[in-house]
Structure 1
Amino acid sequence: MPATDATLALGIIGAGIMGERLLGAINGAPDSPVRVSAIWDPAPEALARIGAAFPAVPRVADAGAVVAASACVYVASPPASHLGYARAALAEGRSVFCEKPLAIDLAEARHFVAQAGAAGAVNFPFASSPGVATLERWIAEGAVGTMRRLTIAVEFARWPRPWQADAARWLDARAEGGFTREVVSHFLFLARRLLGPLEGIAGRIDFPVSGRSERAIAVTLKAGGIPVTLTGRVGDTDADDHNTWTLAGEAGAVRLRDWAIAERLGSDGRFEPEPDAIPNERLRPITLRRQLEGVVRMARGEPHRLATFAEALAVQEAVETILAL
Structure 2
Amino acid sequence: MTANPVALGIVGAGIMGERLLGAALSQASDVVRIAGIWDPSAEAMARIAAAFPGVPRLADAAAVTAACDALYIASPPSSHLGYGRMALASGKAVFCEKPLAVDVADARAFVAEAGGRGAVNFPFASSFGVATLTRWIGEGAVGTARHITIEVAFATWPRSWQMDAAGWLDGRAQGGFTREVVSHFLFLSRRLGGPLTGLKATADYPEVGRSERRIAATLTAGALPATLAGNVGTTAKDDHNIWMIEGEAGAVRLRDWSIAERRMADGSWQPDPEALPNEKMRPLVLRRQLEGVAALVRGEAHHLATLAEALEVQEMVEGILKG
Most deviating of 196-205 and 259-268:
196-205
Aligned to 1:245: 243
CA distance in 2, matches of 1:271, 1:60: 49
2:137 corresponds to: 139
- Paired residues in the alignment total 322
Within 5 Å, which residues of 2 pair with 1:140-159?
A: 140-159=138-157
Of the three residues 45, 56, 61, the one matched with 1:63 is 61
Q: Which structure 1 residue ranges, 4+ long, deviate > 2 Å from structure 2?
A: 29-32
Alignment of 1:197-216 (within 5 A): 197-216=195-214
Match in the other structure for 1:265: 263
Q: Secondary structure at the match of 1:259?
A: coil
Q: How does 1:298-317 map to 2 (within 5 A)?
A: 298-317=296-315
Q: Deviations over 1:250-288 (max 9, x none)?
A: 010000000000001112211100110111010001100
Q: Post-superposition shift, 1:32?
A: 3.4
The 5-angstrom pairing of residues 112-191 of structure 1 reads 112-191=110-189
Give the gaps of 5 or more residues in structure 2. Answer: none
Partners of 2:133 and 2:254 within 8 A in 1 = yes
Quote the offset at 1:192 in angstroms.
0.6
Residues 275 and 5 (structure 1 numbering): CA distance in 2 closer, same or farther, change over 3 Å?
A: closer
Deviations 1:164-192 (A, max 9, x none): 11110010000100000000000000001
Letter in 2 for 1:283: M
What is residue 281 of structure 2 aligned with on the other side? 283
Structure 1: stretches of 5+ with no match in the other structure: none
Matched letter for residue 129 of structure 1:
S
Match of 1:36 in 2: 34
- Where in structure 2 are the equivalents of 1:90-129 lying within 5 Å? 90-129=88-127
Identity of aligned residues (%): 66
Shift of 1:6: 0.8
Q: Secondary structure at the match of 1:182?
A: helix
> How far apart are the structure 2 equivalents of 1:23 and 1:78?
17
- One-letter code aligned to 1:110: R
Structure 1 residues 52 and 5, CA gap change in structure 2 (3 angstroms): farther
How many Å separate the matches in 2 of 1:179 and 1:72? 28
Length-normalised TM-score, structure 1: 0.97
Q: Amino acid of the residue matched to residue 229 of structure 1?
A: T
Matched, 1:47 2:45: yes
Aligned match of 1:226: 224
Report what 1:324 is aligned to.
322
TM-score by length of 2: 0.98
* Displacement after TM superposition at 1:236 (Å): 1.6
SS of residue in 2 equivalent to 1:175: coil
- Which string of whole-angstrom CA distances, capped at 9 and with x for unpartnered residues, describes residues 204-258 of structure 1? 2110011110000111111112111100000121011000001000010000000
AA partner of residue 316 (structure 2): A
Which whole-Å CA distance do the structure 2 matches of 1:225 and 1:232 have between them?
A: 23
How far has the Cα of 1:5 moved from its partner?
A: 6.5
Amino acid at match of 2:291: E
Render the CA deviation track for 1:72-94: whole Å, top value 9, x for unaligned.
Answer: 11000001110111100110110
Compute the displacement of 1:29 (Å): 3.0
